[in-house]
Amino acid sequence: MRVRSKYWLEDDSGEVVFGEGRRKMLELIDELGSMQSAAKALGMSYRGVWARIKATEERLGMSLIETSVGRGKNRGSRLTPEAKKLLQGFKVLARKGIVHTDEVFDAVFHDGTVDISPTVPVVAVAGLPGSGRSALIEGLVREFADRGLRAAVMSKDDSAGKEHGAAEGAFEAGSRYFLEMGTRRLVLEYPAEKDEDSPESLAANYAPGAKVVFYKIGQRVKLPTLEVFRSGLADAPLTRRRRDLLALVGDVCPDKPDWPHYADNDISGLADLVQQEVLVPSREELRLELLVDGRKVPMLPFVQAIFENALVGMVNSLKNCEDPREIDLKIRRG
């Protein structure tokens, strides 16, 4: 079993502009030499394919199809150089993505066993300086502590021009990280250009035992986000895509009336929101359980989804097993 990734282009609002369907259309037009033949192969009308191609051209701001009328070998439709470059880019992306996806798959399912390394969800607390991010994070950490849940905090320091010190000297000498120990404090520093260290990776490596990590940041980021919004500091939130936002905190944004909003002092409500939408469920809440030689093997949420989707899909294809509600599968080897 292998995971195969699909890729698409989307605009700032998160709406898909070019995906698998459009890619297949262009490939068929290129292969068959006409939009009519491509429509027939897709089981669609010529008008339907034409409308989708034109809408995609408008969204991308480029021509994708060149059409020649008349007779002879030049008659028909063909891809523009821009369209061919777009398709080639997707092929390269898919090829490289599959390699990395397979590496991740093997790391999770190495030697036939499941990697049980813990995962720590990260929630961004975004906002401009002076908006009250620190106060919100402190309130959430206290609330989670009262609930018996440990929370950790990360902060991205956007300030520039720091005094050249021991950390910078260590980096120049080739060190990857710099740990500074003080009274009840351990500070991790690493070079700014090492942006491959994502918040999720840092949380997994340096926040063991935490149920959630709150990531203080002054810019939009593709993480579940609580954004502290102050109309006196900005006209619009930093977060652009609704699907990245858990809630706006503070002032209401008139341009985003449908976005969820919480008051500054509703710490309990915000903690409830994070627990419901982000936190990894406990073992008792899991819908899937794996036993290997009688031993329970914990699984990351996305691994559970892979197992569940694969098993349900296979069982669902069997006669009289449509829409199963509960599946017990036992395999004996040797």
Q: Burial of 172 by CB count in 10 Å (0-12 exposed, 13-18 middle, 19+ buried)?
A: exposed
pLDDT in tens, 261-293: 999 999 999 999 999 888 855 444 446 777 777
Low-confidence ranges of the chain (pLDDT < 50): 111-117, 160-161, 194-195, 282-286
CA–CA separation, 292 vs 298, rounded Å? 11
pLDDT of residue 319: 78
CA–CA separation, 177 vs 148, rounded Å? 32
CA–CA separation, 98 vs 115, rounded Å? 20
CA 203 to chain CA centroid, Å, is 16
171: region left, alpha or beta (phi > 0 left; psi from -120 to 50 alpha): alpha
Q: Burial of 46 by CB count in 10 Å (0-12 exposed, 13-18 middle, 19+ buried)?
A: middle
Radius of gyration (C-alpha) of the chain in whole angstroms = 26
Q: Burial of 43 by CB count in 10 Å (0-12 exposed, 13-18 middle, 19+ buried)?
A: exposed
CB contact at 8 A, 7 and 94: yes
CA 234 to chain CA centroid, Å, is 26
pLDDT of residue 108: 57
Q: How many CB atoms lie within 10 A of CB 40?
A: 15
CA–CA separation, 307 vs 301, rounded Å? 10
CB contact at 8 A, 208 and 188: no
pLDDT of residue 251: 93
DSSP string, 277-288: HTSPPPGGG-S-
pLDDT of residue 5: 55
Torsion, Cα 62 20 198 12, to 10 degrees, reads 40
